[in-house]
């Protein structure tokens, strides 16, 4: 058992006593395929070795009692009257899961839970999805039912959309539940079909650099981008038949009919259309063992996010450009919603320490901030942890 998991178990014994079940759910990083999920396109994330951990046991009443080690705080609620907790917003992810599970007809037992995690908050590595998926498995464990993994991801997304109030796509919850060790998942966000693809083996590492810039403007700008994409679909439908989303438009079609769109709308559409194409080509490159081609597609993705979709920021650009200058870096890009958060780089194993030193130095010199750098591995999705 890891030291951190033992700490969760020890705290459970101190606060609640008795036996407990241990549950873990990972965060994620998306290697390529950004802002494509809500356009019914393709994404390519990995579950990472940063996770949220629950120690839980059933209660004989309808009460859910939560203790957070990260926030050194408690929150409780009744399954008969689930409302938000403005004072302890971290608990709303658990509350939202309980609400959607009951709405779906599942009979929940009350629960005692201790929660701890090391997915950095506000960094774009999806601590929220890890909380939601972890809570869902915790309720499964104490209540005695099981939900199919894809259905679990759908329910967790619903909790974030309708209870927490964030209009996210399904990628984060999907990869947290269904990730596979050593692999990324190619996910079709329209059909929810998925395919695990090995990520370079021992030859490479996935390195995440946290800009330490909390993501600002995300909600308002995200909604603008969604509206621009939807507008592009309406206008392109005048010439192209059977278009339900930008996922259905090829780069060649957009080039031929882009005159229908105003400049900003055309650039937003161009990012999504070319990013879907890059995502599929990057998977082909990995299958062929062509890591250099994969890295080049990551670089192109960042340029498109920076110039066409305009969701990068100065700090993310500095991190990416510093990474591009390090020998042994195959590719680097911003990851997540943008306007702060993290970059992801595919780095040859023997270049990781040089990456850490040179990217940190360049970023500190340019911004005065020290980035947090995580060398990540691709891990399994959520499950019951070993006792």
What average pLDDT does the segment 184-196 reach?
A: 96
Q: How remote is the C-alpha of 310 from its chain's centroid?
A: 20
pLDDT bracket for residue 139 (50, 70, 90): very high
Distance between CA 51 and CA 45 in Å, rounded? 15
Q: Which residues contact 160 (CB under 8 A, 6 or more apart)?
A: 93, 96, 128, 129, 132, 166, 168, 173
pLDDT in tens, 9-24: 999 999 999 999 999 9
Q: Decide if pLDDT at 219 tops 70.
A: no
When pLDDT is cut at 50, 70 and 90, the band that residue 220 belongs to is: confident
Per-residue pLDDT band for 123 (boundaries 50, 70, 90) equals low
DSSP state of 163: I
pLDDT above 60 for 387: no
Q: To the nearest whole percent, how much of the chain has pLDDT over 70?
A: 98
Determine the Cα–Cα distance for residues 175 and 189; give it in Å rounded to an integer. 12
In whole angstroms, what is the distance from residue 217 CA to residue 293 CA?
33
The winner for highest mean pLDDT among 207-216, 219-228, 256-265 is 256-265
Q: Once rounded to an integer, what is the mean pLDDT over residues 224-241?
A: 94
Enumerate the β-bridge partners of residue 65.
76, 112
- DSSP lists the bridge partners of residue 23 as 54, 384
Confidence of residue 249 (pLDDT cuts 50, 70, 90): very high
Mean pLDDT of 345-368: 97
What pLDDT is recorded for position 258? 94
Query: ∠12-387-68 over CA atoms, to 5°?
Result: 30
Q: What is the DSSP string of 178-212?
A: H--TTEEEEEETTT--EEEEE--GGGEEEEEEE--
Model pLDDT for residues 36-50, shown as the tens digit of each residue: 998 999 999 999 999
Rounded distance between C-alpha atoms, residue 28 and residue 257, angstroms = 36
Cβ 216 vs Cβ 340: under 8 Å: yes
- What is the CATH class of 3-199+379-384? alpha beta
pLDDT class of 66 with cuts at 50, 70, 90: very high
- Provide the pLDDT confidence category of residue 218 given band limits of 50, 70 and 90: low
List the alpha helices (DSSP H) in the chain: 3-15, 92-103, 127-143, 149-158, 171-178, 218-236, 251-257, 263-287, 291-307, 314-324, 352-367
Active site residues: 172
Cβ contact 27:385 at 8 Å = no
For residues 320 and 303, the answer to whether their CB atoms sit within 8 Å is no
Half-sphere exposure at residue 94, Cβ-oriented, CA atoms within 13 angstroms: 33
User: What's residue 216's pLDDT?
Assistant: 59
Q: What is the mean pLDDT of the chain?
A: 94
pLDDT tier at 168, thresholds 50, 70, 90:
confident
**Per-residue pLDDT at 215 exceeds 70:** no
Beta bridge partners of 48: 378
Distance of CA 272 to the CA centre of its chain: 18
């Amino acid at each position: 058992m890891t030291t951190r998991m033992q700490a969760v178990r020890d705290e459970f014994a101190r606060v609640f006593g008795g036996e407990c079940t241990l549950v873990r759910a990972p965060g994620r990083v998306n290697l390529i395929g950004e802002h494509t999920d809500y356009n019914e396109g393709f994404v390519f994330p990995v579950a990472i070795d940063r996770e949220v951990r629950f120690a839980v046991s059933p209660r004989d009443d309808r009460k859910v009692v939560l203790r957070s080690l990260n926030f050194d705080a408690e929150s409780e609620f009744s399954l008969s009257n689930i409302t938000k907790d403005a004072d302890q917003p971290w608990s709303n992810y658990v509350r939202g899961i309980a609400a959607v599970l009951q709405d779906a007809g599942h009979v929940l037992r009350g629960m005692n839970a201790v929660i701890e995690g090391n997915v950095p908050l506000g960094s774009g590595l999806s601590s929220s999805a890890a909380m939601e998926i972890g809570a869902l498995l915790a309720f499964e464990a104490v209540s005695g039912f099981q939900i199919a993994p894809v259905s679990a991801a759908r329910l967790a997304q619903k909790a974030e959309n309708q209870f927490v109030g964030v209009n996210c796509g399904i990628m984060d919850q999907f990869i947290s539940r269904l990730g596979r060790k050593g692999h990324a998942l190619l996910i079709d966000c329209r059909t929810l079909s998925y395919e695990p693809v090995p990520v370079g083996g021992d030859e490479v590492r996935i390195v995440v650099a946290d800009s330490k810039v909390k993501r600002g403007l995300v909600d308002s700008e995200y909604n603008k981008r969604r509206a621009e994409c939807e507008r592009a679909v309406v206008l392109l439908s005048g010439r192209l038949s059977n278009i339900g989303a930008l996922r259905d438009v090829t780069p060649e079609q957009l080039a031929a009919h882009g005159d229908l769109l105003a400049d900003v709308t055309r650039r937003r559409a161009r990012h999504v259309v070319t990013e879907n194409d890059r995502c599929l080509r990057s998977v082909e490159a990995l299958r062929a063992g062509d890591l250099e081609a994969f890295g080049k597609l990551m670089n192109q993705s960042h340029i498109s996010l920076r110039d066409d979709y305009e969701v990068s920021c100065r700090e993310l650009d500095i991190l990416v450009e510093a990474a591009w200058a390090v020998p042994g870096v195959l590719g680097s890009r911003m990851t997540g919603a943008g306007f702060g958060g993290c970059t992801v780089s595919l780095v040859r194993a023997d270049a990781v320490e040089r990456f850490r030193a040179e990217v940190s130095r360049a970023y500190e010199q340019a911004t005065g901030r020290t980035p947090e750098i995580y060398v990540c591995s691709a891990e399994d999705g959520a499950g019951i942890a070993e006792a």
